[in-house]
């Protein structure tokens, strides 16, 4: 979903990350929300990003997920709820990361396993770790995959 939103418009993703844009004006040394009748065309476009993002997100959700976020006031709030629901909190991510790191470090080709299956299993582990914030350089990945192969390879 993140890739789709980025490809649609960078401003839409910024609305999700930072919350909705609210045009403000300085009056009596204090910033107040600007009346919508005074918004410029650029401000109007930035305000609309949050509504476009809501449309994109809600269109992609199943009914149960939609009801979980339908009362949110911004897409940032929606995204945060969906992120915790699907990826977990920071503590949950950390707890999921450690067993995967161990699985990565102990990764070996299984008896009778094809090279295709090895590559799929390895990619699956690496992709999960990357989604949890672990970084790898290409050389490290290559060395680990070569070490796991049977001697016949």
Predicted confidence (pLDDT) at residue 131 exceeds the cutoff of 90: no
pLDDT of residue 95: 81
The two tokens of residue 139 are 């050389």
Domain ranges of the chain: 2-87, 90-148
pLDDT tens-digit series, residues 33-91:
999 999 999 999 999 999 999 999 999 999 989 999 999 999 999 999 998 887 777 77
Alpha helices in 9-89 (DSSP H): 10-18, 41-60, 63-69, 75-87
pTM exceeds 0.85, yes or no: no
pLDDT of residue 149: 85
- Phi, then psi, of 114 in degrees rounded to 5: -80, 160
Residue 116 burial class via C-beta count within 10 angstroms: exposed 0-12, middle 13-18, buried 19 and up: exposed
pLDDT of residue 46: 94
- Asked if residues 70 and 110 have their Cβ atoms less than 8 Å apart, the reply is no
């Amino acid at each position: 979903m993140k890739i789709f939103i980025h490809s649609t418009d960078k401003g839409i993703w910024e609305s999700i990350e930072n919350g909705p844009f609210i045009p403000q004006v300085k009056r009596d040394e204090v910033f107040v929300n600007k009346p919508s009748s005074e918004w410029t065309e650029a401000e109007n476009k930035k305000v609309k990003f949050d509504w476009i993002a809501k449309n994109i997100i809600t269109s992609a959700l199943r009914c149960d997920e939609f009801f979980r976020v339908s009362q949110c006031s911004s897409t940032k709030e929606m995204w945060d709820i969906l992120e915790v629901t699907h990826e977990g909190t920071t503590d949950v991510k950390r707890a999921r990361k450690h067993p995967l790191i161990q699985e990565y470090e102990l990764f070996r080709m299984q008896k009778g396993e094809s090279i295709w299956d090895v590559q799929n299993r390895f990619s699956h582990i690496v992709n999960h770790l990357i989604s949890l914030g672990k970084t790898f350089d290409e050389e490290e990945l290559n060395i680990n995959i070569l070490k796991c192969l049977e001697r016949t390879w």
